[in-house]
Structure 1
Amino acid sequence: MTTHAGSCHCGAVAFEVETDLETVIECNCTHCYRKGLMLTFVEPEAFRLTAGEGATTPYLFNRHAIEHQVCPTCGVEAYAKGRAADGRVQIAVNVRCLTDVEPFSLTPTLRFDGLHKV
Structure 2
Amino acid sequence: MSKLHTFRGSCHCEAVTFEIDTDLHELTTCDCSICVRKNALMVKVHESAMRILSGAAQLTTYQFHTNTAEHYFCKTCGIYPFHRKRVTPDYYGVNIFWSL
* Alignment TM-score, normalising by the size of structure 2: 0.89
> Whose relative contact order is higher, 1 or 2, with alpha carbons under 8 Å and at least 6 apart?
1
Identify unmatched segments of 5+ residues in structure 1.
103-118
CA distance in 1, matches of 2:65, 2:94: 19
Counting aligned pairs with the same residue, the percent is 35
What code does the residue aligned with 2:95 have? N
Partner residue in 2 for 1:81:
84
Shift of 1:65: 1.5
Q: Within the alignment, does 1:6 sit opposite 2:9 as a pair?
A: yes
Whether the 8 Å contact between 1:83 and 1:89 is mirrored in structure 2 is no
Root mean square deviation of aligned Cα: 1.3
Q: Which residue of 2 aligns with 1:68?
A: 71
Correspondence 1:92 to 2:93: yes
Aligned length: 97
Inter-partner Cα distance in structure 1 for 2:60 and 2:9 = 18
Structure 2 unmatched runs, 5+: none
- Encode CA deviations 1:48-107: one digit per residue, 9 max, x unaligned: 00111122111001111111010011111101123435xx5111111113xxx32xxxxx
CA distance in 1, matches of 2:76, 2:52: 17
Q: Once superposed, which parts of structure 1, at least 4 consecutive aligned residues long, lie more than 4 Å away?
A: none
1:52 maps to 2:55:
yes
Matched, 1:16 2:5: no
Higher gyration radius (CA): 1
SS of corresponding position for 1:54: helix
What CA distance in whole angstroms lies between the structure 2 residues aligned with 1:61 and 1:83? Answer: 11
Distance 1:66 1:55 in 2: 19
